[in-house]
Amino acid sequence: MKIGVLVSGGGSNLQAIMDAVAVGALDVEIACVGSDNPDAKGLERAEKAGIPTFVTDYSAFFARWKEGAALPEDFSLETVASRQSLMKGSDPDILKAFLEKRALAEAALLAALAPYKIDLLVLAGFMRVLTPYFIDALNTDSNRPRIMNIHPALLPAFPGTDGYGDTFRYGCKVGGCTVHFVDYGEDSGPIIGQSCFPIESSDDLDAVKKKGLAEEWRLFPDCIGLYAEDRLNVVERQGTRVVEILPPAAR
């Protein structure tokens, strides 16, 4: 199975995935690593390991949108706006700008990924939301989602960009991380795996992040492995799409 990985920053999760592949604990090929951030350290990690990299610089696409760049031919504002649930109830002009800017960047991201013919896209600290324009291009089979994300909190608690910070400030006694499939909402897709850790009163935010990342590095390769073994089944349960984990070699 071929995977593509997107990173925005340090790439310690990417490193954990590369390490799992290197020692034979995870049977996938990392076909490419991409980033929205040209300075992402994760890109360096990939290059060092001989993995092809690319950059889709979102800021540059947002600037082009301001200059009136043509939108992708297959982009329909009406369709994407009706499917998205990232900006519920927002002003139509704001939503239009939000979706059009991202469509420009996402079309470039899709084009950059296309040559690698990946089976699964792994978001490992990719700090951009993806709109239905991008998601639908990859998820052509609704029973087999193809985008996986790791989130630094026990979802559905604390979605958003600062999961460990929100967990810590709330005074939680347990923190955790979640791997899930990406759907049209923010950190709202079917949960594949979760891992948790105790938060002691002596822990500061750095300690919480450290404990959390250590869990992430184990959980993410495990979840990718389940996908590679074709053991993740998305089913509808009481109106919610949930992931059933099948026993080994059940298919």
Task: Cite the active site residues.
Answer: 151
Residue placing its CB nearer to ligand GRF in the complex, 40 or 99: 40
Binding flag, residue 10, ligand GRF (CB under 6 A): yes
Among 9, 52, 72, 185, which residue sits at the site for ligand GRF (rule: CB under 6 A)? 9
Report the C-alpha gap between 146 and 50 in whole angstroms: 24
Q: How far apart are CB 167 and ligand GRF at their closest, in Å?
A: 11
Q: How is the beta sheet containing 174-181 ordered, strand by strand?
A: 53-55, 29-35, 2-7, 120-123, 147-151, 174-181, 191-198
Give 134's contacts (C-beta < 8 A, 6+ positions apart).
102, 106, 109, 110
Query: Do β-strands 29-35 and 53-55 pair in parallel, antiparallel, or remain unpaired?
Result: parallel
Phi, then psi, of 54 in degrees rounded to 5? -150, 160
Q: How far apart are CB 223 and ligand GRF at their closest, in Å?
A: 12
Q: How far apart are CB 149 and ligand GRF at their closest, in Å?
A: 7
H or E, element range at 112 = helix 92-113
Residue placing its CB nearer to ligand GRF in the complex, 33 or 107: 33
> In this chain, which stretch among 11-19, 59-67, 92-100, 101-109 interacts with ligand GRF, using CB under 6 A?
11-19
Among 145, 216, 221, 224, which residue sits at the site for ligand GRF (rule: CB under 6 A)? 216
Per-residue x/- track, 146-185, ligand GRF (CB under 6 A): ----xxx------------------------x--------
Touching ligand GRF, residues 104-133 (CB under 6 A): 124-125
Touching ligand GRF, residues 28-47 (CB under 6 A): 42
User: Quick one: three-class SS letters along 151-220?
Assistant: ECCCCCCCCCCCHHHHHHHHCCCEEEEEEEECCCCCCCCCEEEEEEEECCCCCCHHHHHHHHHHHHHHHH
Residue placing its CB nearer to ligand GRF in the complex, 131 or 167: 167
- Give the number of residues in contact with ligand GRF, rule: CB under 6 A: 15
Report the C-alpha gap between 251 and 247 in whole angstroms: 9
What residue ranges bind ligand GRF (CB under 6 A)?
Answer: 7, 9-13, 42, 124-125, 150-152, 177, 213, 216
